[in-house]
């Protein structure tokens, strides 16, 4: 069976990038016009969603080729399949059920991934005006049950060990940023130089809505520790260094001392090797692999059961769960929803000053390696405790003085009462 390459163009930042995916006898775009329209309409909503839907439908196209064992490409196009279903010569539920069996027998994927692929094909059929009854779909298309596993919780000590095991300053800064802010992995990679405000108190960073799940901008406060770490990383990234390169005309190796130009639109964690602007999703693959190697060196790279040996127990998303749990345990549940970028309650509203004050109380619990800062904050807390104890003792002494004064007044009242009774007793003979 020959392998052909199916391409689909995705537009990003006014530039067209062609995504190539291997497939088996995939029909060209002229033959799958409905697929093109479906992906184009989805792309208007979200480019990432459009790409994922396209890859899932490519799997369905492979199944179609395998099911019909087509002799030529025109017989196995998605356009022809949908047309046959609408004409009544094909049953949509039977095709979807066979697709489930095909995925289970030929692909090593999880139950959740399988369900997503099937639901995408179902939505594609509905887009093509194929009526899919939810009740009939449930009865005729049996999907494997998705088993939810309890995610491993990270402790503060675990995060400290991971940070100390990071092999380079770039990865260490990235992991610390995730552990101190609870950002999603791609959100942290999308940060530019101009999005950082490291001189404010507290420091903060703007997360652009283009890369958030809720598609809305938000501002995240930064601890003093991660602020210092970001400054260290940026100083290292834009340091003056010696560069060696080969002159293509002369063939000689030239050594120069260069200082990279710091541009406000540079991605913080991107290391530019060319003039092409890096994409945050591409950076994620690099950091994911480096983080996995770090866990393997620590003997903490165990895989989850039921994930086909692919997903690790500790991932970059684990730090997000740590931040949410830490804030909630401190009694700031609504604040934690706002902080990590969830929609939360529509009635929860705080001023920026109030949010900063709450963050100052939480900051020590999101500080990991800055021992001096923790000791200083601990000393401040101890001083406040001593002041409260002195105030409490002063109030106790004041209460004791009040009790003594009240007792003295009580004695005086009793003495006056006794004298009044004696006076009244002496006056009785005269009244007679």
Same domain, 183 and 320: yes
What integer is the mean pLDDT of 143-155?
Answer: 80
Same domain, 358 and 408: no
Domain that holds residue 365: 156-239+267-369
Of 369, 394, 423, the one marking the end of a domain is 369
- Asked if residue 258 has pLDDT above 80, the reply is yes
Whether 262 maps to a domain, the answer reads: no
- Can you give the CATH number for the domain in which 305 is found? 1.10.443.10
- Asked if residue 359 has pLDDT above 70, the reply is yes
Same domain, 205 and 93: no
What's the number of domains the chain is made of? Answer: 3
Same domain, 169 and 182: yes
Provide the 3-class DSSP secondary structure of residue 63.
helix
Low-confidence winner among 102-106, 324-328, 407-411 (lowest mean pLDDT):
407-411
In this prediction, residue 402 carries a pLDDT of: 82
92 Cβ partners below 8 Å, 6+ apart? Answer: 85, 125, 130, 132
Same domain, 302 and 324: yes
The average confidence (pLDDT) of the chain is 82
- Asked if residue 349 has pLDDT above 80, the reply is yes
Same domain, 177 and 124: no
Whether 147 maps to a domain, the answer reads: no
Q: Is the peptide bond before 116 cis (omega within 30 degrees of 0)?
A: no
Whether 246 maps to a domain, the answer reads: no
Strands (E), 13-68: 15-24
- Asked if residue 256 has pLDDT above 70, the reply is yes
CB 184 within 8 A of CB 321: no
141-173 b/e (C-beta count within 10 Å ≥ 16 → b): beeeeeeeeeeeebeeebbeebbeebeeebbbb
Whether 279 maps to a domain, the answer reads: yes
Full-model pTM:
0.72
Whether 249 maps to a domain, the answer reads: no
Of 115, 140, 165, the one marking the end of a domain is 140
Same domain, 184 and 318: yes
Of 351, 369, 387, the one marking the end of a domain is 369
Same domain, 386 and 361: no
Give the separation between CA 98 and CA 196, rounded to whole angstroms. Answer: 51
Same domain, 177 and 218: yes
Please give the share of the chain, as a percent, with pLDDT higher than 70: 84
């Amino acid at each position: 069976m020959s392998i052909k390459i199916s391409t689909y163009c995705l537009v990003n930042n006014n530039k067209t990038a062609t995504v190539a995916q291997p497939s088996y006898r995939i029909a060209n775009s002229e033959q799958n016009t409905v697929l093109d329209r479906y992906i184009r309409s989805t792309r208007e909503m979200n480019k990432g969603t459009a790409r994922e839907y396209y890859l899932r439908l490519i799997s369905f196209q492979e199944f179609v080729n395998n099911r019909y064992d087509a002799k030529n490409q025109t017989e196995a196009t998605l356009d022809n399949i949908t047309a046959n279903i609408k004409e009544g010569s094909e049953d949509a539920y039977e095709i979807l059920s066979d697709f489930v069996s095909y995925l289970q027998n030929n692909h090593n994927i999880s139950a959740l991934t399988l369900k997503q692929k099937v639901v995408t094909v179902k939505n594609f059929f509905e887009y093509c005006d194929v009526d899919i009854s939810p009740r009939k779909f449930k009865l005729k298309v049996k999907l494997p049950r998705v088993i939810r596993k309890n995610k491993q919780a990270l402790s503060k000590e675990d995060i400290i060990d991971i940070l100390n095991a990071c092999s380079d300053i770039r990865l260490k800064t990235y992991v610390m940023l995730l552990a101190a802010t609870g950002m999603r992995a791609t959100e942290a990679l999308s940060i530019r130089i101009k999005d950082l405000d490291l001189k404010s108190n507290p420091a903060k960073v703007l997360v652009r809505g283009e890369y958030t799940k809720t598609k809305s901008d938000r501002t995240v406060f930064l601890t003093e520790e991660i602020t210092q770490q970001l400054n260290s990383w940026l100083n290292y990234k834009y340091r003056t260094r010696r560069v060696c390169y080969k002159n293509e005309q002369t063939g000689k190796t030239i050594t120069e001392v260069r200082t990279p130009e710091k541009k406000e639109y540079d991605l913080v964690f991107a290391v530019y090797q060319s003039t092409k602007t890096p994409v945050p999703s591409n950076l994620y693959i690099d950091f994911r692999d480096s983080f996995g190697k770090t866990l393997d060196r620590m003997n903490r790279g165990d895989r989850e059961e039921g994930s086909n040996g692919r997903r690790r127990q500790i991932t970059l998303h684990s730090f997000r769960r740590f931040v949410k749990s830490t804030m909630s345990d401190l009694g700031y549940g609504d604040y934690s929803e706002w902080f990590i970028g969830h929609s939360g309650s529509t009635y929860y509203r705080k001023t920026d000053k109030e949010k900063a004050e709450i963050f100052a109380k939480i900051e020590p619990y999101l500080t990991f390696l800055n021992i001096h800062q923790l000791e200083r904050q601990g000393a401040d807390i101890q001083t406040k405790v001593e002041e409260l104890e002195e105030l409490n003792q002063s109030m106790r002494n004041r209460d004791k003085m009040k009790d003594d004064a009240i007792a003295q007044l009580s004695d005086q009242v009793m003495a006056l009462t006794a004298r009044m009774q004696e006076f009244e007793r002496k006056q009785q003979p005269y009244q007679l």
